[in-house]
Amino acid sequence: MKIINRFPPNIETIKKYFAVADNTIFTYGDTIYNPANGHIDRALEKHEAVHSRQQGDEPDVWWAKYIASEDFRLSQEVEAYQTQYREKKQMIKDKNQLFRYANQLATDLSSNLYGKVINHQDAMTAITSTKTYKFNV
């Protein structure tokens, strides 16, 4: 995937619906948009690669559905966060450190950034689950 240090082409639409910080990272098509030039580790890159795959050849269609449907948004993010967690789990062997990492991911997923589409405990359960959550959306 390409990484570009600016906002994605649809940022004005995104800002109408979500609380976007300067350090928020986005994927549009095969490109990761990293406007603050923040560090993107392997696990986060895997998360964003999931979104790229989900978008396929129609990122504009995916983004429209992502914005409009909380259920769709949650389904897409849970898959991406599970992938991110599983990647990091291969690197972190200390259970306490891994718990803190998962807790931070759950905090992010249950935040205003995604419209509070899930509570923290359910996010933690979904992210750390050994089964892949599938949603009917």
Summarised one tens digit per residue, pLDDT across range 3-60 is 999 999 999 999 999 989 989 999 999 999 999 999 999 999 999 999 999 999 999 9
- The residues that bridge with 59 in the sheet, in sequence order, are none
Both tokens assigned to 48: 């964003």
Q: Is residue 134 part of a domain?
A: no
Is 80 a member of any domain? yes
Q: Is residue 79 part of a domain?
A: yes
**C-alpha span between 84 and 45 (Å, rounded):** 8
Distance CA 108, CA 74 (A): 12
Q: In whole angstroms, how large is the CA radius of gyration of the chain?
A: 14
Residues 9, 22 contacting (CB under 8 angstroms)? no
**Domain assignment present for 136:** no
pLDDT at 111: 93
pLDDT of residue 137: 53
Q: Give the whole-angstrom CA distance, residue 80 versus residue 120.
A: 16
- Tell me if 21 is assigned to some domain: yes
Average pLDDT over residues 85-100: 97
| Four-CA torsion 125, 112, 61, 37, nearest 10 degrees | -100
Number of domain units in the chain: 1
Q: Is the dihedral of CA 93, 99, 104, 109 positive or negative?
A: positive
| Residue 46: predicted pLDDT | 98
Residue 133 domain flag: no
**Distance (Å, whole) CA 122 – CA 132:** 14
Please tell me the predicted confidence (pLDDT) of residue 132.
75
Residue 134 confidence (pLDDT): 65
| pLDDT for res 38 | 97
Q: Kindly state the percentage of the chain with pLDDT values over 90.
A: 91
Instruction: Please give the model's pTM, rounded to 2 decimal places.
Output: 0.93
* Dist. CA 18–CA 88, nearest whole Å: 27
Question: Does some domain include residue 32?
Answer: yes
Domain that holds residue 77: 2-128
